[in-house]
Amino acid sequence: MNIPNSNQGIPLVSIITPSLNAARFIEQTIESVLSQDYAHIEYTVMDGGSTDGTLEILDRYRGSIQYAVQEDRGAADAVNRGFLRSHGAIFAWLSADDVYLPGAVSLAVSRFLAEPDAAVVYGEGRWVDEGGAVLGRYPTRAPYEPAMFASECCLCQPACFIRREAFADAGMLDTGLHSAFDYDLWIRLAGVHRFSFVPEDLASSRMHRANKSLGARRLMFDESMAVLRRHYGYVPVKWIYGYLSFLRDSRDQFFEPLRESVLTWLATLPAGIYYNHAHPWRHLKEWVSSTARRVGFSAR
């Protein structure tokens, strides 16, 4: 890969890991950063006051990484604090249970150098389990188009890198959100900036029942639907159906697949009109169209 050396002014990449009681996975996360083949990385772990042995692990890496221990208001706040103490022209955050794949940073920097007008570079991601075994491909959307965020969060967050000025101009992460803050950021950035897709696996996102997406499933639905209403004024039918299905049986819809239900689907009509009260006819049209395509329900 033709990446200039540090004497030629290659960009500094700042990476932040927010952590709290992450001893189980954080060493793998750290090693995935330190083993990158891109030398100009500034890596900081922002710990919220762990009591599970995380701090002892961080101390073993003293000299190779930076870390700070201070109470925060959640992961978004920790990332913002880390950003404010960082210096890199390119910025990213990597959760304490996720990992970069070899060459990820070099690939991202290479794309930024080739496309100076790109504010975000994103690649493919894969889901892995607690032991690191691959569960499947993250459903990343490409080619990129801004409207794709109106239906789903279709970027694998650890596989994303951002220009510093774009992150700052967007107002950083919304610290009022604890699950959907990345989704909210992508929507805000997409309104004014261009994203560039790298067709390579850049990161692994670890799926386990204690992570935010699965361990706080209702919060994920509540925040994601609120983000959609805030930015687009509309929540698609599939989000409402997934939410009502979760309320029905509490299945995480990942390890425990969503169970189809005629009754729950029918309930999405009035529920959707409630959530989309400003656009009832749009919801009705989408619901009718989606109903015509659906088959194989099992009523409950």
For 223-282, write each residue's pLDDT tens digit: 999 999 999 999 999 999 999 999 999 999 999 999 999 999 999 999 999 999 999 999
pLDDT in tens, 63-117: 999 999 999 999 999 999 999 999 999 999 999 999 999 999 999 999 999 999 9
**Token pair 């929507």 is at which residue?**
187
Tell me, yes or no, whether 182 and 46 share the same domain: yes
pLDDT for residue 214: 81
Tell me, yes or no, whether 157 and 282 share the same domain: no
Tell me, yes or no, whether 156 and 239 share the same domain: no
Strand partners, 15: 43, 92
Please return the burial class of 161, using the count of CB atoms within 10 Å of its CB with bins 0-12, 13-18 and 19+: buried
| Mean predicted confidence (pLDDT) in 28-48 | 97
Tell me, yes or no, whether 268 and 148 share the same domain: no
Tell me, yes or no, whether 148 and 248 share the same domain: no
Q: Is the pLDDT of residue 1 over 60?
A: no
Beta strands 118-128; 134-137: pairing state:
antiparallel
Radius of gyration of the chain (CA): 20
Q: Of the candidates 163, 189, 206, which is a domain's last residue?
A: 206
Cα dihedral 153, 113, 33, 175 sign: negative
pLDDT for residue 177: 97
pLDDT for residue 215: 78
In 3D, which of 87, 77, 107 has the Cα closest to residue 42? 87
Tell me, yes or no, whether 202 and 243 share the same domain: no
Tell me, yes or no, whether 83 and 194 share the same domain: yes
Whether 298 maps to a domain, the answer reads no
Please report, for residues 151, 211, 252, 283, 287, the alpha-carbon distance to residue 270 in angstroms, rounded to integers and kept in the order given: 20, 31, 24, 10, 10
Q: Calculate what percentage of the chain has a pLDDT beyond 90.
A: 91
For the chain, give the number of residues: 300
Tell me, yes or no, whether 124 and 194 share the same domain: yes
pLDDT for residue 43: 98
Q: In total, how many domains does the chain have?
A: 2
| Mean predicted confidence (pLDDT) in 47-63 | 96
Tell me, yes or no, whether 60 and 95 share the same domain: yes
Domain that holds residue 266: 233-293
Whether 78 maps to a domain, the answer reads yes
Tell me, yes or no, whether 53 and 112 share the same domain: yes
Whether 256 maps to a domain, the answer reads yes
Tell me, yes or no, whether 159 and 272 share the same domain: no
Confidence grade of residue 295 (pLDDT, cut at 50, 70, 90): low
Whether 216 maps to a domain, the answer reads no
Q: Is the pLDDT of residue 16 over 80?
A: yes
pLDDT for residue 251: 93
pLDDT for residue 299: 45
Burial 109-133 (b: 16+ CB within 10 A, else e): bbbbeeeeebbbbbbbbbbbeeeee
Q: Of the candidates 190, 206, 222, which is a domain's last residue?
A: 206
Q: What is the mean pLDDT of the chain?
A: 93
Q: Residues 7, 39: contact at Cβ < 8 Å?
A: no
Tell me, yes or no, whether 52 and 189 share the same domain: yes
Instruction: List CB contacts of 232: < 8 A, sequence separation 6 or more.
Output: 150, 187
| Mean predicted confidence (pLDDT) in 185-189 | 98
* CATH number of the domain bearing residue 184: 3.90.550.10
Confidence grade of residue 294 (pLDDT, cut at 50, 70, 90): confident
pTM score of the predicted model: 0.93
Whether 223 maps to a domain, the answer reads no
Range with the poorest average pLDDT among 5-19, 28-42, 102-116: 5-19
Confidence grade of residue 2 (pLDDT, cut at 50, 70, 90): very low
Whether 12 maps to a domain, the answer reads yes
Whether 23 maps to a domain, the answer reads yes
Whether 225 maps to a domain, the answer reads no
Instruction: List CB contacts of 281: < 8 A, sequence separation 6 or more.
Output: none
